[in-house]
Amino acid sequence: MTSATTHVLRLLRWGRTLARHGALRIIEEGANTPAPVRRLCRLARFGTLQPREPDYSGAFQAIGPAAIKLGQTLATRPDLVGEEAVANLLTLQDSLPPVPFAAIQAEIEASFQQPLAALFASIDPDPVGAASIAQVHKAVTTEGRTVAVKVLRPGIREKFSRDIATYEWAAAHLEALGGEAKRLRPRLVIANLKRWTARELDLRREAASASELAEAMSSFAGYHVPAIDWDRTNGRVMTIEWVDGIKMSDIAALKAAGHDLPGMARRLVIAFLTQAISAGFFHADMHQGNLFVRPDGTIVAIDFGIMGRIDRQARVWLAEILYGLTTGNYRRVAEIHFEAQYVPSFHSVDEFATALRAVGEPMRGKPVSELSVGQMLDGLFAITRDFDMQTQPHLLLLQKTMVMVEGLATALDPEINMWDVSAPFVRGWIRDELGPEAAVADKLREGVRTLLGLPDLVRRVEQAYPAKGGAPEPPPLPDIPLVWERRQPAGNHARASWSGYLLAGGFGGLVTWLIIAQGWVG
């Protein structure tokens, strides 16, 4: 287990990097920042020159791969870091200098335990992309198919494990301070980050995600997910169909090729809604670099390391919330927040509906160019504190992806109205999923499932309550505390915890001062 001193030293080292980019100021000056955190920030920035304009994305990029992923996670949390920081973090580029090809070749050969020539007829040593977790090379298989080969950076799993352990330690201490820090649930933010990166660090799971998404979208015309080469895929290497097309970010090239950009924008929005609301499984990294357009206009998605999943009940609530906001039915939107227990029951439904109206009404009747999903989400975040709404981690990826999709669609068609495009789809889904026929079908399925479960229920009751004549009922046993389960009294334990924390912080500060004084840290 990593010691508290090691965690403090890491945090101070990262804090100095944040300070050099001006990124600590938002924490240190925050009205809700706990005093111990503010003191740690002052210690971390001691002796640094902070720029006037903070560069959050540059700071996370400088710290390293795990920080890049943390920055992308924080970009979904305007309630936590503020709108200014979110706007900057959305520019965070997940790219690093490439690993030398010799190390990549060694990684491929070690993972498959066979020479590279047995797998590929040729492979380009220059990568087509190098991100924080993996890099991609173009190759031709021994059967003659052109593919993309994604390979994890050597040692990346171990580095992520070390860094995330410190994130967890820091989040636990921050949440223990209570107040606003507890409401924002930083431990769950880091838990989500850990789960997302665990998926990205196992390329078999990314391949499985691509396969599942391809299956879910198989009947959606004009949207394609590349096929996986399972024979050349394992935990550290993924081989996937090569994509030829124009990047969606290259608007000029798309226009020159004669593509229908407004039609493409609408198709992209509906594709996302189909994934998120109909399938409950969506591509959560839909930035411009991960979407291509083929000559026939088909949208092709790549990079399935970050995927979102929503259960059916949450999708029902989501659809009703979106439809209620588009139609101005704020009362129903408020009721859903209470039904889903997003808002504690001691608050008033009517008061919450009024607060929602304050968010929705200023957007109604405005020109298309001023209607924004992002603005709506920011407004919703703004009222969460007043109604004691805790963070809903299962919706963070969805919120982030909705803003991404809106940005992509607006770039393709500046006049697109996201509400007008979304409303018919959401209305149709609600009719199909919540209409009378669907309700009857749900009851029938539930009844049949209950009937089929009765035999197993009877068997479990018999096991729990055996017939008389078996073994006699044992007598009650005394409760004897075990040596290793003994604990100090609550007050002493709390004092010991705080004294240890202060000692670790003081020692970390002393070491950091010595490092700075000796000029060992730039």
Catalytic residue annotation: 285
Task: Give the Cα separation of 115 and 109 in Å (integer).
Answer: 5
Specify the pairing of strand 146-152 against strand 307-309.
Answer: unpaired
Q: Which of 394, 393, 396 is nearest to 187 (CA)?
A: 393
- Asked if 238 and 230 touch (Cβ cutoff 8 Å), the reply is no
Name 467's Cβ contacts closer than 8 Å, sequence gap at least 6: none
Task: Give the Cα separation of 38 and 400 in Å (integer).
Answer: 28
Task: Give the Cα separation of 491 and 499 in Å (integer).
Answer: 12
Q: Which of 34, 16, 60 is nearest to 163 (CA)?
A: 60
- Terminal alpha carbon distance of the chain: 29
Name 381's Cβ contacts closer than 8 Å, sequence gap at least 6: 78, 79
Where does residue 221 fall: left (phi above 0), alpha (psi -120 to 50 degrees), or beta otherwise? beta
Task: Give the Cα separation of 422 and 410 in Å (integer).
Answer: 14
Question: Among positive and negative, which fits the CA dihedral 118, 121, 124, 128?
Answer: negative
Where does residue 258 fall: left (phi above 0), alpha (psi -120 to 50 degrees), or beta otherwise? left
From residue 380, alpha-carbon distances to 22, 352, 357, 367 in Å are 28, 11, 10, 21
